[in-house]
Amino acid sequence: MAAPQDVHVRICNQEIVKFDLEVKALIQDIRDCSGPLGALTELNTKVKEKFQQLRHRIQELEQSAKEQDKESEKQALLQEVENHKKQMLSNQTSWRKANLTCKIAIDNLEKTELLQGGELVRQRRTPKENLAQTSSSITESLMGISRMMSQQVQQSEEAMQTLVTSSRTILDANEEFKSMSGTIQLGRKLITKYNRRELTDKLLIFLALALFLATVLYIVKKRLFPFL
């Protein structure tokens, strides 16, 4: 069963991916916006709300990373936080560019309408077929966004699983290293003890050989020189 902290990290990652995709979709809507300014203002308000939610989730993920007990998991999460921050900055840059493009398009459109009067307004009335195509395109875009979100969530889960597996492998290797260290120390003690015993055995053999030679010399002396 996953720890509450791991569940919170996973939820944060999922929410960050979701808000990031929603921001990208809104920025694309701003690029495609042809006015009026009220529509652009409404889109920008939604983008600001999504950025606030995204920033809040990134801060939560960063706090969770700092609370990790294992240094490897802490560094991995902090790297994810850094990547999310860079992506958010990239989105903000795209947002500013999209606003500039949209405002230029609206200004040009207003100038054209002033020149052509109400004729341009009548030309821009969308037929029913175009409305159906637009609705279909929006549906396909939403389905694409949903698929992207699902893929991002799956990739995040796979990355977390890989991290957990790597951590377990490191812990197992550390335990084996400790076991090998104990075996090596025991072997060192046995070798030292064996060397000491070997030295003792050699000394005893030498003393026994010396006693034997002394006895032989004593016997030979008594046989050959009994008068001594």
pLDDT tens track for 60-91 = 999 998 888 888 888 999 999 999 999 999 99
3-state SS assignment for residue 142: helix
Q: Do you find a cis peptide bond into 36, omega within 30 degrees of 0?
A: yes
Q: Residue 73, exposed/middle/buried by CB under 10 A (0-12, 13-18, 19+)?
A: buried
Query: Taking the complete model, does pTM exceed 0.85, yes or no?
Result: no
The whole-angstrom separation of Cα 61 and Cα 11 is 9
Q: Tens digits of per-residue pLDDT, 101-158?
A: 998 988 888 888 788 765 544 555 555 566 667 667 777 777 777 777 777 777 877 8
Buried b (16+ CB within 10 A) or exposed e, 32-66: ebeeeeeebeebbeebeebbebbeebbebbbebbe
Give the chain's mean pLDDT: 82
| 205 or 147, which is more confident | 205
The answer to whether residues 59 and 85 touch, using CB atoms and an 8 Å cutoff, is no
Percent of the chain clearing pLDDT 90 (strictly above) = 30
